[in-house]
Structure 1
Amino acid sequence: MSEPAAITPHDVEAAAGRIVGHVLRTPLVPAPRLSELTGAEILVKHENMQATASFKERGAVNKLKSLGEGERRSGVIAMSAGNHAQAVAYHARRFGIPATIVMPETTPLVKVENTRAQGARVVLHGETLYESAEEARAIAAAERLALIHPYDDPAIMAGQGTVALEMLADAPDLDVLVIPVGGGGLMAGNAVAARAMRPDIELVGVEAALYPSFLNALDGKDRPVGGPTLAEGIAVKTVGALTLPIIRRLVGDIVAVDEALIERAVNAYASLHHTLAEGAGAAGLAALLKEPGRYAGRKVGLVASGGNIDTRLLAAIMLRELERDGRIVSFRLTTSDRPGLLGKVAGLLGAEGANILEVSHSRLFLDVPAKGVTIDVTVETRGESHSRAIEEALARSGLAPRRIQPHDAAEPGSAAL
């Protein structure tokens, strides 16, 4: 006989009542441009609108509200490098509960300061979350603090499950829920809630391809786990002991998405849906981009689970997507050095409708004749067909264009035209 699940639908319902007034009931909104992109009818649950910009507040509030009076006085401790830390710190301060957060020493300073700004004591320990977790357990034992695990805790799982309760209340005819999976708290809680409301609904979990921890746990394979990922919020090496049985029993499929797809999804949320999604928060959309035929014509619920993305990183992602789409292109032109050459190039590009972003030129490359010159020019175009037309026009003018990667186009000291 299988062991009873860590949580039941009743636990999720109780959590829903407990968090009312403390956590935003986020909107579930149609996403017509994302729907056009994928062929599915997409509705997005905007958990990036929470006070700390992630769904983690639901579990944190449910756990904090479940503590006994003695535990509240003694305080709580959590291990996290991101959204869980901020959610626990924020609501612990609201409830007057002392909070300690253990973070890896490698945590970006902005996340450390954001957590301190919520009134939490921050302890930096170890290079990895595993080492931080060991330190959190040691401090919890020494100071008699209640440990709030980021995912392997029934109260956390039940709190996260309120996402699906709200989604299916707002759109009971959803065919599929596609949910990011890290340690499994969000997926497990929502699987319990969704199956109780709609036993026939399809549930798909999404992992970063660099961290296929649930896939390994479910099929017994030993895929490599680790590496730099844009979806650091689901970059978990060890799945939850409590979440795994629930996901094994209730979730139909776990899919892995690579970094390029995650980048595309982050960019699509920003440029088409006009919302910020961090890498983990965009993982569900990445799954649709990976297999659009699987979801075509179906009503799909996505969870934009978090919006804590560095603006510089977002700008880089959007620029890279313009490059992938052929809307930013760099050419290396090789020709004889003569007066008025830059003017000729600028005039030709202007006539072709290209917007010049950057220009550099060099006479020092050894593969260029002594009286020759190379010009690297980066332009903005209307798309790949326009880029090809520009390349053909440059070739007809004897400029011998060769495409190069835009980020390699300009050397230090290059001049903008």
Structure 2
Amino acid sequence: MKGLLLRLSALDPDAATAVRVIAHYEALLAGGAVDPPALVRSTAGLAECPAGLESADGRTVRFGPDGITLPGGPARVSGSADLGAAGRVWLERPGGPGPLDELVLEWMALAARMADGAPVRTTAPHVADPALVELVLSVREAVADRARALRLLGLAPELPLRVVALAGGGGADAGVQAVALIGRGTGWGTVRLAALGQLGVALIQRRGGGASPAGELRAVVGERAREQSGTGGPASGVRVGVGGAVDPLDAEASWGQARLALRFAVAGDPVEAVVDHDALGPVALLGAIPAGALSAQPDLRALHGLAGRDGGPLVLAALAAFCRTGSLRQAATELHLHHSSVAARLAHVEDALGWRLRDPQDRFRAQLALYAMRLADPL
């Protein structure tokens, strides 16, 4: 840690300070919950300004940066964090909040909740300020501004970053969907969540190479779908696109990949609902074709006609499963159907479109038409 701080100090003093803030509280919490006076005194010394804590019963603890107790309530609050029923914490910095006060207050609040005895998951996903997330994802903003936003979000500048885009189903709020989905996973690493427009966004950093979270996402999508089976719950409409691992300052590239992958995703089967851009390979190049040109393609028009008939969506689901697995029995297993039912649906496709799906060329043609159908539809 000391070596990292020295290198960061030479490159960016604010980045070094952010690491010191995190290291300070991790060391403070290493032995478990810390009592409120010790927490406030420690924070005041770290922030170099008065700090305070008000507990649920109205009792107030305040310390100055010199470690001396301050009487009464705060004279001027420059920034605060609500602890809900447990009270609140704050800083009293003259002249307005400092550049890393949000990070200090976030960690102070976490420690205060532990001191209050409230259950805290230190590895839980964190709902972030959408403005900061949008700043990280914007290529139009200056590098210095994006770097500062990353620091304020508590993201490490030296670790690869992946962006995940999520579309909620059934009119559900995408940001809430993102929290619900990723909150069920384990071992995500550092996560920051926000809602941008109609999409939920997750910024994910994982040590050890930044492995894709697509597998874990499919598991939690499947879990929710099983829980809500037959209830019409929103899990049936969830779609997820996973971007590639990039340098944090190039997050916009991963964001673009995540949105493209989302266009390939189809709600329902977790395998189809979560698409990893890295796994698409050259298929991702289809995303460069204008939606109008895709819609005009004869195979795509034929698929749309098939989808509009009675039972059409079920027929297309069977076609997608067969194209993906190349096996009638594996497709039946994925769809929880008898293989004869899947065979009947595939025969319907062959009769309607003139394809022979056992022929690799026709099966490849069908898969491309399915991809085109997804890409031609709006998000």
TM-score after normalising by structure 1: 0.30
Higher RCO structure, 1 or 2 (CA under 8 Å, sep 6+): 1
Structure with bigger strand share is 1
The answer to which structure has the higher helix fraction is 2
